[in-house]
Amino acid sequence: MAILSIAMAGLSAKPKPKAAKPVAVATLAGNAVRGKALYQSCTGCHSIDENEVGPKHRGVVGRHSAIIPGYAYSPALKQSGIVWTPAMIDRWLTNPQKLVPGAKMFFSVSNPQSRADIIAYLAEQK
């Protein structure tokens, strides 16, 4: 009887609620026009065509990390081996220090739609 009570107690327990899954940028349609406006917050450190505090962004989508001549990349980013795919840029913008501890960039973009929009804009800058 004790075994039956223990077994039935397990059946009556409420299951744990599943944690919400984060929205993947790949499922969001990025809007390059909105992305251009959002990119203005990046221009304190970056430019499309010139190295500034951060490296230039022309052609960033599909490029290997830390290869722009004339920019002093962190050793961490040089050793990362990252290729800037849209998914990788999304991870970077979400939390650059988590992706590459020791990278120079600390600024992040918390909103998934904003990241998708910025990535859409960067993809047009070939």
Query: CATH code at 100?
Result: 1.10.760.10
Q: Which two tokens stand for residue 52?
A: 């500034």
Does the pLDDT at position 75 exceed 60?
yes
Helices (H) and strands (E) in the chain, counts: 6, 0
Let me know if residue 85 belongs to a domain.
yes
Judge contact between 117 and 31, C-beta under 8 A.
yes
Counting the structural domains of the chain, the total is 1
Query: How many residues belong to the chain?
Result: 126
Let me know if residue 2 belongs to a domain.
no
| pLDDT score of 108 | 98
Does the pLDDT at position 80 exceed 60?
yes
How much is the pTM? 0.79
Judge contact between 104 and 54, C-beta under 8 A.
yes
**Mean pLDDT lowest for which of 17-21, 60-64, 83-87, 95-99?**
17-21
| pLDDT score of 67 | 97
Let me know if residue 19 belongs to a domain.
no
Helices (H), 24-65: 32-39
Beta strands in the chain (DSSP E): none
Does the pLDDT at position 63 exceed 80?
yes
Let me know if residue 48 belongs to a domain.
yes
What is the residue range of 93's domain? 26-124
Judge contact between 39 and 126, C-beta under 8 A.
no
Q: How many CB atoms lie within 10 A of CB 101?
A: 10
